[in-house]
Structure 1
C-alpha cells in the first residue's frame, strides 16, 4: 500500500475548519513573550500543525505564531525544485523569521526513499537538505518517517538498513556542523519475534555522535509504552521531543497482536489528537525525564486540529506548556 505521512494525517482529522486571518486575530493571540530558561519555556512549534494556513498566507501565519509566544519553528515540506518553503524563498523565510524573532533549529526533510533498501537509485538529495538547514541556521535535519511502501511488513533488515543510511547522512551533516535525526510514529514500536522493536534497532545501529532521535510523545504513548522507559534505556539519545496530546476517548494502544496485521487505513479511526494538557498524556510527570533524555528542543505539534480556529488550538497548547511544564 502506498501512503504518505501527509495522506495519513489528512485522513485522521477534519482538516481546515473556519480558521481566519486579520489584525483582530493577531491582537487576540498576543501574549507576553517574557521567557524563562529551558526547552519548555522556549517551546517551539512544528509548523506542520498549521499547514493549511501556511498555504493561504505563510507570512501572516508565522507572524501569528510568534505573537502567540512560540520561540522557534520546526520546518517541513521543502520544495527542492523551486528551493522554497510554502511558496517562500529561503531569503524570504529568513527575513520573516528575523522580523518576528522566530528561530528554527530543526526541520523535517523527506528521506523515505533514502532510508529504503528497495530504492537503489532514486534517493532524496541529502546534501541539499543539509545545505538548506545550514542556510536556515538549523542544527538538526530530521527524517520524519520510515519508508512508507508497506508499513505492515517492515523487517529487522529494513530498520538496520535505515540506521546505516542515517549514519552515512550523519557523516555528511557533521561536516556542516549539523546532526541527523529520526522522528518516530507507532509502527516502530511493533515487536519482532525476539521482542525487539524497530526503534530499538535504529538506536542500536546508529552512532550517537552522528544520529539523534526526536521522540514523539503521543506516538510512544499510543503504542502503550512509557516514554521514561526509553529515556532510562537510552539516556541522552532524545534531544528533541514532539509534545502533543491524546483525546481521552481514544486512549487505547494501537500496537499489538490485535492491530499489527491490520490494514493501515483501518487503524486511523483509533487516532484523535487534542490540545496539550487537555488529554490523556501526563506531561507533568513525563517532563521529569527531560535531563535524562538529553532534551534540547521541544515542539508542540497537533497532527490534526478540530477547533474552528487553529491558532486558538496552538495557543491553548502553548499556554499549558508555559503554565505547567516550565521550571
Structure 2
C-alpha cells in the first residue's frame, strides 16, 4: 500500500518510470448513473439480484491509475488505447488545479475523451487537506473541473493515517464528507468514498467503515466498493451489500493473485469469486464498475492486460 500512499501524499507530481512488474509494484489502491441510461440505482435494487443486460453496467470503465506509468508520458495515445481496448468510461486520478489532468485542463481533457467516444463519470480527488482544515475552496475547484469533464461523482480515494486513527477521526471524516457532499449536490454532483482495507479496523464494537456508512447521509454520500480491498480485509462484499442496500453505486473490480494475495492479476484469473459478487449487483445499487489493476506480471503488456480483464467482465460476468 506504500506506493499508493506515497503517490497520494505527493499528488500532482508525475510518477517516475517504475517497471510494470510484481516485484516492484505492490497492490495498493484503490446513485451513479450511466450517461444517457434509462436504468437508475433505484431500478437496480428493485427486483432480482442478478445483473441484467439492460443495466448501466454495460459500459465498463477503468480507473486510470492502472496505467499511471504510461499515462503522463502520452496522455492522448494512452486514452486512445483505452478506448481501443473496449472501455467506455474512465475514472480519473491525480488532478490538481495547477497541472489539471496530466497537463490538460478540464475542457481539453473532456475534448480528448469525446474524440475517443469516452466519458468520465467519476474522478478521484485529494481530500486530505480539506479533512484537516475544513476549507472548502479546494472542493469547489474540484467541482468546477468535474462539471466540465462530465463527472457524476467526486470520489475520496484515500486518507492518510493521521486522519483516520480513531473512531472520533472517522466521525470527523463523515462530518466533513456530508458538508462537501452538500456542495456537490448544489452543483449537480455527488460525493463518494473509496475504501481500502484499513477502514475495517476495529474500534471497540465498530469499524471505521461502519462509522462512515452510519454517519454519512445516504441521500448525499455514496460508496465506491473496492472489492479487492474488502476481501483483503477478510470481509465479504455480498454481506456488506445486504447490510447497506443501494449504497455501493460504484465498484472497483480487481482480482487477487492466487499465490501472492498482495498482488493483483487479470480479472477472472485470481482468487476472488466474481460470479458470486456480480450475482448481488442489484442489491448493492451499483451502476458503474471500474476495472483496476495495480501491478502486472513481468513482460505483460498493460494494454493487453486491461483488455483481457474487460473482456472477461463483459463476456462472462455481464453475459
Q: Does 1:272 align with 2:285?
A: no
Q: Does 1:225 align with 2:241?
A: no
Which of 1 and 2 has higher RCO (CA within 8 Å, sep 6+)?
2
User: How far off is 1:123 after superposition?
Assistant: 6.9
Q: Which runs of 5+ in 2 are unaligned?
A: 10-16, 22-52
Q: Does 1:200 align with 2:192?
A: no
SS in 1 for 2:252: strand
Task: Report the Cα distance in structure 2 between the residues aligned to 1:295 and 1:86, rounded to whole angstroms.
Answer: 29
Task: Report the Cα distance in structure 2 between the residues aligned to 1:3 and 1:232, rounded to whole angstroms.
Answer: 32
Task: Report the Cα distance in structure 2 between the residues aligned to 1:8 and 1:175, rounded to whole angstroms.
Answer: 27
Task: Summarize the alignment of residues 43-82 of structure 1 with structure 2, pairs less than 5 Å apart.
Answer: 43-82=60-99
SS in 2 for 1:78: coil
Contact 1:246 1:273 in 2 (8 A): yes
User: How far off is 1:8 after superposition?
Assistant: 8.5
Contact 2:57 2:287 in 1 (8 A): no
Q: Does 1:162 align with 2:154?
A: no
Q: Does 1:16 align with 2:19?
A: yes
Contact 1:49 1:305 in 2 (8 A): no
Number of equivalences: 280
Alignment RMSD (CA, Å): 2.3
Over alpha carbons, which structure has the higher Rg?
1
User: How far off is 1:121 after superposition?
Assistant: 6.8
Counterpart in the other structure of 1:188? 199
Task: Report the Cα distance in structure 2 between the residues aligned to 1:107 and 1:179, rounded to whole angstroms.
Answer: 11
Question: What's the TM-score once normalised by structure 2's chain length?
Answer: 0.82
- Residue by residue over 1:32-85, the C-alpha shift from the partner in whole angstroms, topping out at 9 and shown as x without a partner, is xxxx64344311000110011111101010001001110100011112124x20
User: How far off is 1:124 after superposition?
Assistant: 6.7
Counterpart in the other structure of 2:276? 285
Residue 245 of structure 1, aligned match among 231, 237, 255: 255
User: How far off is 1:307 after superposition?
Assistant: 4.5
Q: Which runs of 5+ in 1 are unaligned?
A: 19-35, 252-270
Change (3 A) 1:163 1:320: same
